[in-house]
Amino acid sequence: MILHDWFDWSNAGVGTAGLMLTLLAVRQATGAKRAAEDARQAVYGRNAADAFAETVRLAEHCAEYLLLERPNEAAVRARDLVARIPRDRTRFERFIVADSDKLKILESGFQVLATRLSSEDPLEEKEDAQDAIDRVFDAIRELNAIYGRLLARLDEEGL
């Protein structure tokens, strides 16, 4: 009878230890899942920042080509921006919700510029060329502001 009771007590002890280890493993797995989600969010945020840095760079190249009076190259960069802005706006909408409308306006502005630069006599008038340059620099300022807000949000969230 003593051996039987001792056996029951040892089984209860092993069962309790197994339950404790299982609960500990579940707790660690939950922490690992949270860490993985945080890491995924950080990578997603950094990808958004990198994408908008590239968009700003393309806009700066477009302005540079306009200043150098190379409308064909500027038209190519403007078309690149027309393709890139909606893609990035859709892809990273979670991070740029407040700036989505501004990006739509910038996209349409670059569409107009690309069309204008693809015409037979793009920017023949001095005023037309200066107006196009001014509009591109305004777009660059707006894109930089969006990029800055995105970086500030990432810093606030610790990403």
CA count, 13 A, side-chain hemisphere, 135: 20
pLDDT of amino acid 1: 42
Which band of pLDDT confidence, cut at 50, 70 and 90, is reported for residue 104? very high
Q: Which three-class secondary structure state does DSSP give residue 94? A: coil
Length of the chain, in residues: 159
Question: 156 versus 51: which is more confidently predicted?
Answer: 51
CATH architecture of the domain with residue range 39-156 = Up-down Bundle (1.20)
Model confidence, pTM? 0.74
Angle between helices 100-117 and 126-156 (to 10 degrees): 150
Residue whose C-alpha is closest to residue 147's, from 45, 58, 53: 53
Domain ranges of the chain: 39-156
Q: Among all chains, which residue has been given the structure tokens 């989505």? A: 100
Could you read off the pLDDT of 16-30 as tens digits, one per residue? Answer: 888 888 888 778 877
